[in-house]
Amino acid sequence: MAKVRPGAIWLAESGAPDFIRFLRSKGVVGGSDSELYQAFDMTYDYDIYPDLRAALLGKKDLTTWLA
């Protein structure tokens, strides 16, 4: 990649630790922040999972995400 696009930044999406554990329990690959930083320059958080889970369990309303 460095030959094709010198100076490119590798960006990864990270998830909450409980979401990573959930993925792994289902056999799906999910990397923790420390694992992602072994290959990527930066990460950003996918932080909706706790709210999404609460909504799926009928404990939270997600209308604020509709804006």
With b for 16 or more beta-carbon neighbours within 10 A and e for fewer, the 46-56 pattern comes to eeebeeeeeee
How would you write the pLDDT of the chain (67 residues) with one tens digit per residue?
Answer: 889 999 999 999 888 888 889 889 999 988 888 899 999 999 888 777 788 888 889 999 888 777 6
DSSP string for 13-42: EEE-HHHHHHHHHTT-----HHHHTTT-SE
C-alpha span between 6 and 2 (Å, rounded): 5
